[in-house]
Structure 1
């Protein structure tokens, strides 16, 4: 016989990881209402970049280094590095002080964000299921087009740290994975707004 029950829904680890990577480029951030244990693989990689991290049972604070160190990454099934954070990691590596190799073993052709990130002045090449990222000094704002949920997030991150104005089109993709992402970034001090066409 069925009976009522209370169920606690786990936090979205992909959204948490997205904001942590943005924080690594934007001066630091504390992400609350998350489970750090669900992101162990990501937090370890962020530490390798030189970021300082501290966590509680339900939050993580990240403080970026002066220079992001390049870190190779390979996606995998849980508890490995999530393929849904691969695009955001590529965006992070565009501003590292060296070269990084990012391999996606889950979706071999999931690099539609690369040509768009290159519009910012990034230096990324793709060979089969691996992106080779050579860090640059800075990114420059550009008109770019999102192609899926996570690509959209990577373009927003790049746009927020790029010099000048960035316009991300086809932003409806991001609404499938993030709720009012522009409001959350605006609450952190970002100059970002949605244009309804």
Structure 2
């Protein structure tokens, strides 16, 4: 059986790194894995998505509309934007974090209110405050690894040797911090 994980966010949030760590762990665990990334205007604060599909045999890397088992959103409006990709039985993990887009910053639109409530009314939703936890750990940049931890726990992937994956793929001076961030993320789900 193939499982599909959709990670979405805004450029600079570490969405791509989280998906690469996830993909590496899944491959090392023996799964057939396909990953695709859409960067869009990521360097300008635009939407970013990574699609990770794994199982015994994965034919295509792209998740179709209505095909994601889990949607993990690094920014709350992105969760709403990508919701149509979730399976009817899927679940959402959303970071309670707001990044204003250029039209909002320019005063052309207002950031919509009530996104988290709307999500919770439509699908099973877990809201996390990864920014708060990352700041408590001493580095806001580990927000992405906290969210990776929520994926691992939500998808039942705890038996993969994540410590090795982290140590092999992040700079040694940040390994311990990232391992703590991973543990925090797993505890939030």
Normalized against structure 1, the TM-score is what?
A: 0.37
Greater RCO structure (CA 8 Å; 6+ sep)? 2
Q: Which has the higher strand share?
A: 2
Q: TM (normalized to structure 2)? A: 0.38
Larger Rg: 1
Structure with the bigger percentage of helix: 2
